[in-house]
Amino acid sequence: GWTTIHSDTVSYLGWHIYAAGETSYTFTGTYGYQYYITGFCLSGNAPTSPVDVGACSTYSIVSGGSSITTPSVPTTLANDFVVSVWPADTYIRPPTALVPQSPVVADLTWGPTSFDGLLAIGHVTQAAAGASPTQTAIVTCSSSVETICATLALFANSTPLAPTLVSPIGGV
């Protein structure tokens, strides 16, 4: 099963450890809306309980040239691997760029697809326990985009923690 970190009427944040032979999942919404699923696989993190803490931002609509900011999370241990996820979606004209800003290390920028938006994933290693810094990405588009960002702090499995992004998954 999935472990829920955050859930409300517009967003869900959870994690799952793949077992041998697992290849896909079906997500079913209950609110009668179209959903955008952002998923990614990491390897090299703590093998049984990898997540320290996570959070989602509130739903927002931003215009081109605007910053999209992930929420801060209160990490409980030093050396957490803090992952930031920035989706930018629109049904009018897809955004053309979504660029994570320093000091975050940009791990992935994916898209745009012909009908949708962009996804960016980045990380920082947080040396001390406590509130993580918010992380920012800049969106470039000719219209506005919808977004709900997320922050996920992973426990250190080794020092330094160096998970590898195995695969992004995106779509409606």
pLDDT in tens, 31-74: 655 566 677 777 667 778 888 999 988 888 888 778 888 999 99
Q: How confident is the model at residue 165 (pLDDT cuts 50, 70, 90)?
A: low
Higher pLDDT, 105 or 35: 105
- Is the pLDDT reported for residue 106 higher than 80? no
Most confident of 45-49, 83-87, 158-162: 83-87
- Dihedral sign, Cα of residue 47, residue 52, residue 58, residue 64: negative
Pairing of strands 130-131, 12-15: unpaired
Please enumerate in sequence order all residues whose Cβ is within 8 A of that of 171, keeping only pairs 6 or more positions apart, or say none. Answer: 36, 37, 113, 116
